[in-house]
Amino acid sequence: EVQVVESGGGLVQRGGSLRLSCSVSGFTFSDYAMFWVRQAPGKGLEYVSAINSDGGSTNYADSVQGRFSISRDNSKNTLYLQMSSLRPEDTAVYYCVRAGHSSDWYSWFDPWGQGTLVTVSS
């Protein structure tokens, strides 16, 4: 069974930092691009970042560019999101998501983890 499990969320002050982790199982992690998607309370879905299967290419939404960094450790089957200079508007549930197919990152998102809540206080 494919599993995607996020951790690392919590309460942080404006300007602070936090690192999210995503542990996966049930598939060959190194074959798939991975993504972070967030959802502010009561709001819609927002793409945050992408990383290709070997970690050599990354992409970010303009809203987090320069503040967030995505990375992966294929030997540990783990995806990361390092978040710094956090703002109240970064408050959201952060979902770790796998690419739907393994060939590249131009893919739908499936499956999704349950998400981890990040709250940035002002």
Partner 1 sequence: DIVVTQSPDSLAVSLGARATITCKSSQSLLYSSNLKSYLAWYQQKPGQPPKLLISWASIRESGVPDRFSGSGSGTEYTLTISGLQAEDVAEYYCQQYYSTPYTFGQGTKLEIQ
Binding site for partner 1 (CB under 8 A): 35, 44-47, 50, 59-62, 95, 100, 105-115
- Residue placing its CB nearer to partner 1 in the complex, 65 or 121: 65
In sequence order, what are the beta bridge partners of 6? 22
Q: Which residues, including other chains, have CB under 8 Å from residue 21's CB and lie 6 or more apart?
A: 6, 7, 8, 78, 79, 80
CB 112, min distance to partner 1, A:
4
- For residues 61 and 1, the answer to whether their CB atoms sit within 8 Å is no
One-letter amino acid for residue 103 of the chain: S
CB 111, min distance to partner 1, A:
8
- Residue placing its CB nearer to partner 1 in the complex, 59 or 77: 59
CB 118, min distance to partner 1, A:
15
